[in-house]
Amino acid sequence: MTRTKSLILALSLAACATAHAVPLRWAATNDVLTLDPHSQDHATTHAIVQHAYEGLTRYDAKWQIEPCLATKWTAVSPTQMRFELRRGVKFHDGTPFTADDVIFSFNRIRQPQGTLQIYVSGIKEIKKVDDYTVDLMLDAPNPILLRNLVDFRIMSKAWAEKNKSTNIQDFKAKDENFASRNAMGTGAYKITSWVPDQKITMVINKDWWDKNTGNVTELTYLPIKSEPTRAAALLAGDVDLVTDVPPQDVQKLKADTKIKMLDGNEVRTIFFAMDEGSDKLPGASVKGKNPFKDKRVREALSISIDREAIKRTIMRGLSIPAALMVAPGVNGNTPDIDQPPKVDYERAKKLLADAGYPGGFEIPLNCPNNRYVNDEQICIAVVSMWSKIGVKAKLIAQPMTLHSQTFQRGEAPLYMLGWGTSTFDALYQLQALARTRVAGGGQDGSFNFSKVSDAKLDALIDAMKTETDVPKRNALIREALLRQRDEFLFIPIHHQVRPWAMKTNVETLYRSNDRPEARFTTIK
């Protein structure tokens, strides 16, 4: 073959490769916090990391648990589960996946500086039987073990050791390591770059052990904080999918023939957390004891929030006013107990006076401004509502990265957070947010940065961890949710209703956990 013909052939092959590339450009409001799969229990981070890292189990298209890096599991005894690992799986760098990687990842995810210990809750030890078999030794029978394991992501032991990333980054201390900026998993896509607050890029893993049901070969994630810019990018064709659709733009997008919408309720609750454990609150002008230790103060703040007004004016109808800390679609939520309190400013003033704060008090309010739907606007509205009872909330609005670091360091006495129940079972929320935090980190209270501690609630949570009788367990969940609600341990605002908007040539599955999956996405 002549050199000219060789060049023509090479150019033709390159053109074919380019022609067969199927890109998906996905935009949402905030960036990931890290690429370390064991560091931050944060939905956007999970949504990106899930493309590169996998667990022993996963959800199928209908939210049923199915095998992933494990092909089979059997009970050796009620407290010993044997998992047979998938053979022939390789990490993105070509190294084989074995039992050593599972054990390494288990020991790593339990390190106290991370916030994902909840996903290995109840597992005492993982023992290697052979290179492709492990035994999970449990503290007691675990009714939601397989759901927890979905987000226990397996990292390459060899890669972590080579790149000095055997320890989880200390995110709250602004620590960085190789694993916080790079990824090495077994998943369907390889993360090729991350430019913080600009974009994340991925390419398909051609050596993946499974097959995509979709056809996306390249994925670009674009964090676009500005709501008008995000909607305009979709209308202009600069992005293909937007999962944070501004409520004020929903009707405009629905009316555009180039756009289609997927409607759905997210299993996420937006709420305020209060520092209920510290004797003194940073930045607060409060004399004497911490006001949030008093249930009357917590109730006063809750009944001063007009949730229906927030739904009507800020969310444009795209919210479900909440009394519970778990949304519809989560095991434990029932309409009869998820009825938010009515607004009552006079009663709120009396509660504050009875608690020793007749003139109210001044307190910082920390809020994200690029994470949840209209997060800063909601906080601004609540500041006005609380002013009616004498509570002067000083708003501090920050990007989610800074906001998260602030409350994890214990520097936010009152802050907004959103919690998506990734296991679709109320225990996840109760154990992570409301169970008394274990000293030095641990599975209990893994995200309890507001220092909630209620002995009765702890007992209910501990009981439901191991109760395998479904009616008995659901009764425990109900009692725990009522206890959490009636003690005003948190202040739920609403459950998010979150439509997705996309070009008409995009086909994807709506995921109520706020995690689009490229493997289920097709570009026509």
Same structural domain, 320 and 449: yes
Residue 320, φ and ψ in degrees, nearest 5: -120, 105
Please report which confidence band the pLDDT of residue 285 belongs to, taking 50, 70 and 90 as the band edges: confident
Q: Which tokens sit at 294?
A: 């008093």
CA dist 414 and 390 (Å) reads 16
- pLDDT of 9 > 70? The answer is no
Tell me if 136 is assigned to some domain: no
Same structural domain, 238 and 277: no
Same structural domain, 370 and 236: no
Please report which confidence band the pLDDT of residue 5 belongs to, taking 50, 70 and 90 as the band edges: very low
Summarize pLDDT for 184-216 with one digit per residue, the tens.
999 999 999 999 999 999 999 999 999 999 999
Whole-Å CA distances, 431 to 45, 244, 276, 484? 21, 28, 17, 12
pLDDT of residue 442: 76
pLDDT of residue 7: 39
Same structural domain, 205 and 306: no
Same structural domain, 345 and 371: yes
Tell me if 165 is assigned to some domain: yes
Please report which confidence band the pLDDT of residue 428 belongs to, taking 50, 70 and 90 as the band edges: very high
CA dist 383 and 379 (Å) reads 6
Please report which confidence band the pLDDT of residue 14 belongs to, taking 50, 70 and 90 as the band edges: very low
Q: What is the CATH number of the domain that holds 195?
A: 3.40.190.10
Same structural domain, 240 and 300: no
Residue whose structure tokens are 């503290």: 139
Q: What is the CATH number of the domain that holds 412?
A: 3.10.105.10
Q: Widest CA span of the chain, in angstroms?
A: 94
Whole-Å CA distances, 134 to 76, 102, 127, 137, 368? 12, 8, 6, 10, 41
Tell me if 217 is assigned to some domain: yes
Query: Which domain covers residue 49, as residue numbers?
Result: 22-66+105-115+151-264+498-524
Radius of gyration of the chain from Cα atoms? 24
Same structural domain, 338 and 391: yes
pLDDT of residue 11: 40
Same structural domain, 194 and 286: no
Count of domains for the chain = 2
Summarize pLDDT for 220-258 with one digit per residue, the tens.
999 999 999 999 999 999 999 999 999 999 999 999 999
Same structural domain, 259 and 317: no
CA dist 4 and 500 (Å) reads 49
Same structural domain, 40 and 174: yes
pTM for the model: 0.93
